[in-house]
Chain A
Amino acid sequence: MTPKPPAPPPTPLPPDDPDAPPSEEEIAQSDALRRALEDPSLPNEAAELARAASLAHAPRPIDPAEHRRIVERALAGAQARAAPSRRRGGVLIRVSFGAGAALALAAGIALVVGSVGGEAPSSSAVSVVSPPLLRVRSTQPLFDQPFEGRSSGSSRIDRIAMARASDFRENEFSRWGAR
């Protein structure tokens, strides 16, 4: 008896062909969608999604009575939720104020301790928090490049003033914390 040949590998499913004719199932679904769009009382997920997208884009005016009912319901719910947490909120506020006062007191102590130590606040101490700034320096490197076009008696001063104006803007941005 000869051994049974191995079964051929399963043929891969054909990829979805967008140009293929619609199946029976697809035809039935599209028919149900059409009917649900015509009659909102018919349940259909795709029709609800389409209606929601349409209303989000162009909402219809709400009935005033229905609007009042929604607002009243929302306010009643908010009051009911707020009532039990009122005491907890008060505790939170007291803790926040207490911690803030403690930090302020601590900052005062730190300043006093620092000054008692004999070190007056110096400019370098201030620079701990100040951002790096561009400082005055020789303008010599500005003249590595030749002047373009006709240079006048003010060309060098122009170049100095413009270069330092750019540095000054950088310093301003640093001071404003915008760098």
Chain B
Amino acid sequence: MRLPVLVALAALTLTACSKAPISAEPREDGGPPIDTEVMAYLSEARALHHQANLSEDARDIPGAIAPLERLVQAKKPHEGTKVPEVEEVLADTHARLAELRMRTSDVSGAEKDIRAGLVHAPEPTYFRGHLLEIEGVIDETRASALADAGKTVEAEQARARARDLLNQAVAVQEQVLSHTTGTDGGHR
């Protein structure tokens, strides 16, 4: 007789516990917790960027590009879920690739990287601003080359695009600054 009463009481207690309020968790961006998968990717990204450093220091630009190309094609953690860290690493890696390609005069390759990078940075972040800045520099370089080749009209068009992109970069970075410093972005 005593055992059934004990069982009933314990069951009631456990059922009540299952209805207890859920503990508050920092769920910024609503994404998954930082786990081994995310860390493995970040570690891989860091290693590949440092491999690129070594080649870059040795003035081996193709050697610096190779590990970064491997990174942008690497398997990503939490496939199907946008992990901000991964998106921003990819945006930054494409920006670095574009700059390296510019040093080998691969202008079209650099533009492709910028377009790919912008897909990973749709919001007004430093990373998006940096990509727009590099794209503006690419057009500025192209304008100089076209002017040297005597193609004045095309050179002027490239210059106009460069101005527009650099203005966009400035606008994005001012937004970033106003957000981080709580000011109007440095306008005086």
Contact = CB atoms under 8 A, between A and B. Distances in A.
A139 B45 CA distance: 15
A110 to B, nearest CB: 4
A102 B35 contact: no
B83 interface: yes
Contact of A136 (B13, B38, B52, B64): B38
A99 B6 contact: yes
A106 B7 contact: yes
B39 A135 contact: no
Contact of A168 (B7, B35, B49): B35
Contacts of A137: 28-29, 31, 84-85
A45 interface: no
Nearest to B15: A110
Contact of A128 (B23, B42, B50): B23
Interface stretch (B88-96, B146-154, B158-166): B88-96
B56 interface: yes
A110 B14 contact: yes
A153 B26 contact: no
Interface residues of A, number: 42
Interface in B1-47: 3, 6-11, 13-15, 18, 20, 22-36, 38-39, 42-43, 45-46
B29 A168 contact: no
Interface in A124-140: 124-125, 127-128, 130-140
20 contacts: A103-B10, A105-B10, A106-B7, A106-B11, A110-B18, A128-B22, A135-B29, A135-B34, A136-B29, A136-B32, A136-B38, A138-B84, A139-B85, A141-B180, A143-B126, A153-B96, A154-B50, A156-B92, A164-B85, A171-B33
- A-B pairs with lowest CB-CB distance, top 5: A106-B10, A154-B49, A133-B33, A110-B14, A136-B31
Given A128-B23, A171-B34, 10 more contacts: A107-B10, A110-B11, A136-B29, A136-B33, A136-B85, A138-B88, A139-B88, A153-B53, A154-B53, A161-B45
